[in-house]
Amino acid sequence: MRPRVHPSLRSGRSRLRVLVVAACAALPAGAQTTGRIEGRTVDAGGEPLAGASVTVTSPSLQGKRAAMTAGDGRFRLPGLQPGEYAVTARLEGYGPALVAGVRVSLDRTVTLELVLQPVFREEVTIRGAPLLDLTGTTSGTEFSEEVFQDLPTSRTRFYRGDAG
């Protein structure tokens, strides 16, 4: 048989249980153990660059963490352990942007603007007749008259008058 408890004590216990459960649930949210890096990628004129790959590396991170920029050039890399990071942004047609020594702290956001410079490629086109005929199956060599005159033969001595 259960002991009888006064009704005012029962509601107090219920309130206490609710308060303990609520306090335990709030602890992880209030005590963050990571930070984040966010920002945007832009070109030299300040226009946002969509589709850029943003990568972070650090000795305190196993491997790499990466994100793609959205249409407005923005990126977010949440859940980073505190430490020092190198942030690199890459996009085809642009040189990479690198920011080293980015310090991430507990429950803090580091905001970066990564400026990518366009890369120009030079292309050289040579037009004219091909030096080799890759479609034909014949081969040949041209020799000048001087080559034949200077060739040694078994009759060279005879023609020069060296016969004896």
The C-alpha R_g of the chain, in whole angstroms, comes to: 40
What is the rounded average pLDDT of the residues 36-64? 94
- Kindly report the average pLDDT of the chain as a whole number: 80
Is 163 part of any domain? no
Instruction: Report the run of H or E that residue 27 belongs to, with start and end.
Output: helix 7-30
Is 5 part of any domain? no
CATH of the domain at 73: 2.60.40.1120
Is 86 part of any domain? yes
* Per-residue confidence (pLDDT) for residue 111, from 0 to 100: 96
Helix residue spans in 31-137 (DSSP H): none
Domain that holds residue 108: 34-116
For residue 138, name the pLDDT band (cuts at 50, 70, 90): confident
Is 60 part of any domain? yes
pLDDT digits (tens, 9 = 90+) for 106-130: 999 999 999 999 998 777 777 776 6
What is the rounded average pLDDT of the residues 131-154? 74
